[in-house]
Amino acid sequence: MDAAIDRIATRYPDIDRARIESLVSDSAHGHDDARVRDFIPVLVEHEVMEKLRAEAEPVPVADLDLGPAVDDPRPGDPQRPDPAEVDRASEQHTGPLLGDLRNG
């Protein structure tokens, strides 16, 4: 739940972190009897965001500095090919469907 608290606190910097933690805790305890627990953090985050929208104006996502969404496997050189593509190109493909009419 710490990641959800961090995301909510980033979106609502004017709201005290203790208040956010309290709302997250209360919402999470509301799901204590849930059989499927995998989605509880997402549900809790959504419920808390709904409550906070009524109290404060969120910082627009476009204004947040969230960093890259995924790690770039090609740091520093955008022209460098993706390693998966290099591996795929190095594989030997043979057979009539792959352009080898001699059944190689």
Assign 104 to helix, strand or coil: coil
What is the pLDDT, as a whole number, of residue 18? 95
DSSP string over 44-89: HHHHHHHHHHHHSPPPPGGG-----SS--SSTT-TTSPPHHHHHHH
In a domain, 40, yes or no: yes
Residue type, 46: H
- Model-level pTM? 0.55
The number of distinct structural domains making up the chain is 1
Q: What is the C-alpha separation between 65 and 11, in angstroms, rounded? A: 11
In a domain, 99, yes or no: no
In a domain, 98, yes or no: no
pLDDT tens by residue, the chain, 104 residues:
888 999 999 888 888 999 999 999 999 999 888 888 888 999 999 999 999 988 877 777 777 666 655 555 556 666 777 777 777 777 666 666 665 555 54
Q: What is the C-alpha separation between 20 and 4, in angstroms, rounded? A: 10
In a domain, 59, yes or no: yes
What is the pLDDT, as a whole number, of residue 19? 93
Q: What is the CATH number of the domain that holds 45?
A: 1.10.8
Listed in order, strand segments (DSSP E) in the chain are none
Domain boundaries, position 38: 2-63
- Residue 31: count of CB within 10 angstroms of its CB: 15
Q: Kindly calculate the radius of gyration of the chain based on its CA atoms and give it in whole angstroms.
A: 24
